[in-house]
Structure 1
Amino acid sequence: MSASIGSPFTTDPGWLPYHPTPSRPAFRLPPGAVDAHCHVFGPGAEFPFAPERNYTPCDAGKDALFALRDHLGFERNVIVQATCHGADNGAMVDALHAAGGRARGVATVRSTVSDGELADLHAAGVRGVRFNFVRRLVEPKPDAYYHRIVERIAPLGWHVVVYFEAADLEARWDLLTALPTTVVVDHMGRPDIAAGTGDPGFARFLRLLSEHPRYWSKVTCPERLSVSGPPAYTDFVPFARTVVERFPDRVLWGTDWPHPNLTSHMPDDGHLVDIIPRIAPTADLQQALLIDNPRRLYWSDLP
């Protein structure tokens, strides 16, 4: 997909755009369900991508996201700041304002962020910050950098979202376990699916959740983690189901739309929704995963 006319960027060669016509899920989402991990990209002509970005995506703006929300049957979104926008949260905040209370946000901020900027983000609906430790996407900072940010956001009641790969957890253990806020791990810490649920890396991740009750996990991204592939992503299911059943009050689910940096295929978001009853097989688990947990973390101010 080429960049829009007049936009100040050129999409990376070979970039896979999001699925243009996702199916309608066979699984009927319960009223109030939340897509708790998704992004907006641009439009680049209005919200330029960060000069330091490691990838340039195609446009995937708020209108397309909200259309997908309604098509799949979700009521709300949690929009996570994309690394291609760096610490300029403009596109994400614009989407929050347009959502009319039906979206919350997770921002990327620098340690120099002002109190006024944090207050504006909070008023827009931001409830957390994201720390990315995946080196192919960003250059991680010294531990003290992250601690300074946490000191700033903790008084607001915000949480921290962390993105790392399974091999990074041991090296980052001391930093991660020292964070005083609620911490949400993206995509189960990207376990090695091919190694099976008995893999030591996955065991280490489960230990993190067991020993530190302020830790949550997103049971997301079969399209990134699975070896068996679409549409069933069968090998992903036992990992996610293990986390959901062991930690039912600390799990979230999301599409990861528009699925940046995929190279093998672009998932049908309707098929992703149909995985939910396979990883959360009871009505109580689905209620916690899709409604109660995201409401508690992102909409606790509602009556």
Structure 2
Amino acid sequence: MPGDVVGVLASGWDSHVHVFDGDASVAPGHYKPVHRPLADIETLAQGHGVGHLVLVQPSVYGTDNTVLLHALQSSQGRHRGVVVLDPSVSDAALQDMHALGVRGVRFNLVSPVGDSLNGLNGQDTLNSFHALAPRLHALGWHVQWYARPEDLSAIAGLHATNPVPAVLDHLAGLHAGLPSGHAAWQSLAQLAEQGAWVKLSGWYRLRAASPYEALDDSIRKVAQLFERRMVWGSDWPHTAFAPDAMPAYASTWAPVARALSAAQKSHAWERAPSMLYA
């Protein structure tokens, strides 16, 4: 990985990690996370040239962002956060979160305890988006979507009439089995034209096995659409894996290293996230 640094704060960004407190309450019907405090990922990432992290609220904690906010508070401004919010959140609470480093709100359309764009739950998600989006835009925040390919058309429609930026998790859900002519690519192009961003992350969530070469062409195609609006994330601590079988940290950068040019890699490593999470 570029810029391995020991002893000083490294300049690289990992734009998608989670932290867990083993004693915190979790939503029923989902996984029970292992204790993974901020110090663990800080030490690991720093050894690979990463000094800045984006902490993303995991679905198991719902709208209780306590673990994430405590981690941000302890980081003295080094890191940023993406939370999950109820639309009734107060302006004062938003300002407090902004001061700690929060820069986005996540909607998770994949988790069994997450959101939906269909049916009754879908209406709740739409109501939340429309209630929160103007307030987020005023703060300079974004909406982060963990979505499937079939969700991209609806997401593009939402952002077509709202200026709050979209950030698409995990290569926008474009899994290895997706045909090159799938309609999701047209929706993705629309989102790119709207100024959306994409995370180069979550390879193992996209029907690909290490070293994830099945996704190389899709990564290149995404790069043609999004150009300099791409950020990389490790997805640590890799909740799709058993605790003793997690992917090597550097392996999550390998597809980026193969698929992108030197200039694109450098931008996704440092400059792009420093802009998105300013």
> Which aligned runs of 4 or more in structure 1 are off by greater than 4 angstroms?
27-31
Structural mapping, 1:1-303, within 5 Å: 25=1, 27-28=2-3, 32-42=11-21, 44-45=22-23, 48-51=24-27, 54-134=30-110, 136-140=112-116, 141=121, 142=123, 143-196=126-179, 198-212=180-194, 214-227=195-208, 229-230=209-210, 232-262=211-241, 266-282=246-262, 284-299=263-278
For residues 98-148 of structure 1, the C-alpha deviation after alignment (integer angstroms, 9 at most, x for no partner) is: 222210111111011011111110111111111112252414342122110
For residues 215-238 of structure 1, the C-alpha deviation after alignment (integer angstroms, 9 at most, x for no partner) is: 1111211122143x11x2111111
RMSD of the alignment, in Å?
A: 2.2
| Structure 2 counterpart SS, 1:72 | coil
1:80 alignment partner AA? V
CA distance in 2, matches of 1:245, 1:266: 31
Residues matched between the structures, number: 265
Contact 1:241 1:278 in 2 (8 A): no
CA distance in 1, matches of 2:272, 2:16: 13
Alpha carbons of structure 1 residues 56 and 179: separation in structure 2 relative to 1, 3 Å:
farther
If the length of structure 1 is used for normalisation, what is the TM-score?
0.80
2:143 alignment partner AA? V
Contact 1:53 1:83 in 2 (8 A): no
For residues 258-285 of structure 1, the C-alpha deviation after alignment (integer angstroms, 9 at most, x for no partner) is: 112347x632112222333212221x21
Contact 1:106 1:126 in 2 (8 A): yes
Alpha carbons of structure 1 residues 244 and 186: separation in structure 2 relative to 1, 3 Å:
same
C-alpha deviation, 1:201, in angstroms: 4.1
For residues 150-200 of structure 1, the C-alpha deviation after alignment (integer angstroms, 9 at most, x for no partner) is: 12222211111111111222344432433321110101221131235x141
1:184 alignment partner AA? V
1:288 alignment partner AA? H
Deviates more, 1:107-116 or 1:161-170: 161-170
| Structure 2 counterpart SS, 1:179 | coil
Contact 2:229 2:272 in 1 (8 A): yes
Residue number in structure 2 paired with 1:6: none
If the length of structure 2 is used for normalisation, what is the TM-score?
0.87
Q: List gaps (5 residues or longer) in structure 2.
A: none
